[in-house]
Amino acid sequence: MKNNPHLSALFIFVIFTALLILLLIRISFRKPVAKKEIPIKILKIIAIVSFLIINGIQENGTINFGLILMYFFAFFHDITHFPSFGIFWEGVITIPIIGTLITFSLCRKYKDRYLLLFCFIALLAIIPLLTGILDPHNYKRISLDFIIPTSIFIISSIILIVLNFRKPTKKDNLEK
């Protein structure tokens, strides 16, 4: 997998699909939920997982999940061990990212629609910082590992926002 980037993309896709299938199985065995809530939960999971597997286009491109873990570990290690050369302050960005992902997943339908929109905008603004797309020298490295998860994240989030901004009907209110 080290020499072939397509195998790593395939591996990530297989892991993503397996996690999605396991999640769908878990949802199907839970107590009955309104039918309109299930697509929203699935869209949230798809959006979060696709955000986490977006591949960076830097020289040593890393998926966002790995980058967030590395930044958080370096920051936490530097804070607890007081290095002589300084603290890795870029790791502070991981705390709001993790908080935004958790808030994105916990937003309720229609009630937290503006919070969901804000979380989407915040995550969309973080993508250029994590992936290295702000550097023009990296444009030649853009591959499907970056394009596909980014487009899945954007499309699923927009669908989720549109579904959340629809006004609840009387039938929806009676079901709750």
pLDDT in tens, 48-90: 999 999 998 887 778 888 888 888 888 888 888 877 777 777 8
Residue range 4-12: average pLDDT? 56
Burial 71-91 (b: 16+ CB within 10 A, else e): bbebbeebeeeeeeeeebeeb
How many domains does the chain divide into?
1
Report how far residue 176's alpha carbon sits from residue 174's, in angstroms, rounded to the nearest whole number. Answer: 5
Separation of alpha carbons 11 and 78, rounded Å: 32
- pLDDT at residue 52, as a whole number: 93
Residue 71 in tokens: 């930044």
User: What is the distance, to the nearest Å, from the Cα of residue 29 to the centroid of all Cα atoms in its chain?
Assistant: 25
| 128-149 residue pLDDT tens | 888 888 888 888 888 888 889 9
Tens of pLDDT, residues 103-131 = 998 887 778 889 999 999 999 999 988 88
- Domain around 158: 5-175
**pLDDT at 9 > cutoff 90:** no
As given in the structure block, the two tokens for residue 105 are: 């997943």
Q: Give residues with Cβ within 8 angstroms of 136, minimum separation 6.
A: none
Burial (0-12, 13-18, 19+ Cβ within 10 Å), 51: buried
pLDDT grade for 164, boundaries at 50, 70 and 90: confident
Query: Average pLDDT of 149-176?
Result: 78
Q: At what angle do helices 37-52 and 144-165 cross, to 10 degrees?
A: 150
- Tell me the whole-structure pTM to 2 decimals: 0.72
